[in-house]
């Protein structure tokens, strides 16, 4: 297939220290042809200013700003909805992934898949975080029947057509689970690809925050009930 046109989304909050290098990695890619959308989710540092300065010198880059923090999922969905090209890809701005591996995901498009999901190999997190992730992924597979082993891996590629008309309610840590569950219910063809996971250079993840965890479980069980009601209604 010819080189696809890809909207590259980078959600960012307080990422001024790592975002410029992340954008430099994206800009060095000769393929795929891309536009890059940075969504600043209410940063308290110079994330927006640094991204905007880079965008001024590169017409492929756009910056969208949430004046207040709306949550990781909301930032990703803003970017996915803002993109205009035939495929949509997202990764985080903390440089824990090698953006060059997007070519591994693109290769799966030629095999007829609609959604390509990375899963982290040799994950560079502490043992407690890895154990929690295993338990969370098991719960998502069991309750929502999402056929992936690393639902929250921030390295995903979508055929934009499967996103059209989709409504995602989760704005926090449940975003990826809801997105994949709804795409699975639509009959989207989903495949996984291994991706390298790199040590965090600066900053820290908010995934262990008790409020983030509590919100994720609330959104999980609310979505579980809603999907069951929708399935029952469709079967009548």
pLDDT in tens, 126-173: 888 888 889 999 999 999 989 899 999 999 999 999 999 998 888 878
- Residue range 82-94: mean pLDDT, rounded: 91
Beta bridge partners of 62: 37
Residue pair 10/79 in contact (Cβ under 8 Å)? The answer is yes
- Residue range 185-198: mean pLDDT, rounded: 93
When pLDDT is cut at 50, 70 and 90, the band that residue 125 belongs to is confident
When pLDDT is cut at 50, 70 and 90, the band that residue 123 belongs to is confident
How many CB atoms within 10 Å of residue 53? 12
Highest mean pLDDT (candidates 97-101, 153-157, 172-176): 153-157
| 215 CB burial (10 A radius; 0-12, 13-18, 19+) | middle
Sheet holding 115-121, edge to edge: 61-66, 33-41, 5-12, 87-91, 155-159, 115-121, 190-196
pLDDT at position 204: 57
pLDDT at position 93: 84
- C-alpha to C-alpha distance for 91 and 233, rounded to whole angstroms: 35
How many CB atoms within 10 Å of residue 76? 25
Strands, E assignment, 139-213? 155-159, 190-196
pLDDT at position 31: 67
Residue pair 148/177 in contact (Cβ under 8 Å)? The answer is no
Mean pLDDT of the residues in the chain: 88
pLDDT at position 151: 95
When pLDDT is cut at 50, 70 and 90, the band that residue 206 belongs to is low
Least confident of 11-20, 53-62, 121-130: 121-130
Indicate the pairing of strand 115-121 with strand 190-196.
Answer: parallel
Residue reference for tokens 């046109």: 5
When pLDDT is cut at 50, 70 and 90, the band that residue 56 belongs to is very high
Q: What's the structural domain count of the chain?
A: 1
The size of the chain, in residues, is 236
Residue pair 12/37 in contact (Cβ under 8 Å)? The answer is no
- Residue range 74-95: mean pLDDT, rounded: 92
Whether the per-residue pLDDT at 201 is higher than 80: the answer is no
Full residue range of the structural domain in which residue 90 is found: 5-235
pLDDT at position 203: 54
Q: What is the CATH number of the domain that holds 174?
A: 3.90.550.10
When pLDDT is cut at 50, 70 and 90, the band that residue 3 belongs to is low
Return the closest-CA partner of residue 95 out of 54, 133, 124: 124
pLDDT tens per residue across span 38-52:
999 999 999 999 999
């Amino acid at each position: 297939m010819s080189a696809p046109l890809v909207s590259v989304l980078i959600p960012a909050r307080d990422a001024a220290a790592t975002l410029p290098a992340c954008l430099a990695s994206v800009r060095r890619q000769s393929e795929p042809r891309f536009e890059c959308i940075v969504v600043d989710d209410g940063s308290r540092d110079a994330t927006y200013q640094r991204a905007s300065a880079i965008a001024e010198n590169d017409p492929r880059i756009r910056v969208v700003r949430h004046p207040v923090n709306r949550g990781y999922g909301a930032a990703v969905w803003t970017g996915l909805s803002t993109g205009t090209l035939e495929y949509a890809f997202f990764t985080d701005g903390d440089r824990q992934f090698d953006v060059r591996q997007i070519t591994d995901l693109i290769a799966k498009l030629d095999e007829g898949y609609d959604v390509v999901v990375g899963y982290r190999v040799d994950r560079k997190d502490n043992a407690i975080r890895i154990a929690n992730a295993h338990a969370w992924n098991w719960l998502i597979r069991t309750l929502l029947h999402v056929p992936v082993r690393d639902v929250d891996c921030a390295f995903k590629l979508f055929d934009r057509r499967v996103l059209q008309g989709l409504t995602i309610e989760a704005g926090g840590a449940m975003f990826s689970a809801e997105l994949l569950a709804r795409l699975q219910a639509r009959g989207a063809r989903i495949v996984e690809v291994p991706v390298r996971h790199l040590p965090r250079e600066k900053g820290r993840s908010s995934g262990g925050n008790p409020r983030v965890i509590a919100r994720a479980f609330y959104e999980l069980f609310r979505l579980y009930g809603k999907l069951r009601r929708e399935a029952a209604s469709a079967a009548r």
